Structure formats: C-alpha cells, structure tokens
Amino acid sequence: MLSKLASLSVCVLGLLLFSCDAEHVKDYYVVNAYEESIAINYQDVYGKGKSLEIEVNDTVLIFSYRYVFGTVGVDNDGKFAIVNMILHNNDKSTSITQNDWKYEKRSKYHADYYLIIDSTLLHKENRRNAST
C-alpha cells in the first residue's frame, strides 16, 4: 500500500513539474526620440483605452502584459497586447501597427517591445502615399 502511494505521489509531482503553464510577460515601452512631446491613444488587450503624453527623450512603460500560456515561448505565442494606437503631433495623426514595434526577447517567457517615435515613424504614412 505504501509503495502504491509513493508511486502515485511521484506521478502527480511529475505531472505538476512538467505540464505546468508558464507565466509569460510582455512589456511595452514607448521611446520619444522626436524633438517635441507626443500624445498617444491606444487600447490594451483587455479593451481599456488609454491616453498619454510622452515627453522628449522619455522612455515610458505603457503596458505590462502577464498571462499563462503553456510552455510555448513568447516569440511563438502570437499574442500582441497593444491595438488601435494613434500618435498625435500638432495637427497630424499617425496610426501604429505591430510592425512598427521593435522586439527584444529577454528570456523564453519574457519579451520587451519598443516603439521608437522619431521623424521617420511620424512621417511613415506620407512615405506610403508617395510610393503609391
């Protein structure tokens, strides 16, 4: 009886150790490398709308997304937590897509995303319109 209980305990412990979901963390930073402050509006993955003003030369953590998602690493999980982002500068608005963010993997389960705001990013729609 004792050996069956010990075997069952080892099996349960093995399942807990090897089949657990891992916490994933994705941090989203906005870096203002432009010569003026920039207003941003966006929604997070939970649908909560936010507005911020990012001062010149500031780096601001705008969202930290923590979630459990098996043992798949952050680079393969397909989850992105910032949507509908628009930058406002003077009378110009620029829509931001996931492709505008720079990705840095810190570990299997932790990644940082950086949006670098500069004149190139603020004028990207003008470049697209000129090339069509």
60 vs 91, higher pLDDT: 60
pLDDT score of 15: 40
Q: In what order do the strands lie in the sheet with 92-96?
A: 49-54, 38-44, 82-89, 92-96
User: CB neighbours of 71 closer than 8 A, spacing ≥ 6?
Assistant: 20, 21, 22
User: Does position 1 have pLDDT exceeding 70, yes or no?
Assistant: no
Q: Which amino acid is at 75?
A: D
Task: Encode pLDDT of 23-80 as tens digits.
Answer: 999 999 999 999 999 999 999 999 999 999 999 999 999 999 999 987 777 776 678 8
Is the pTM above the cut of 0.75? yes
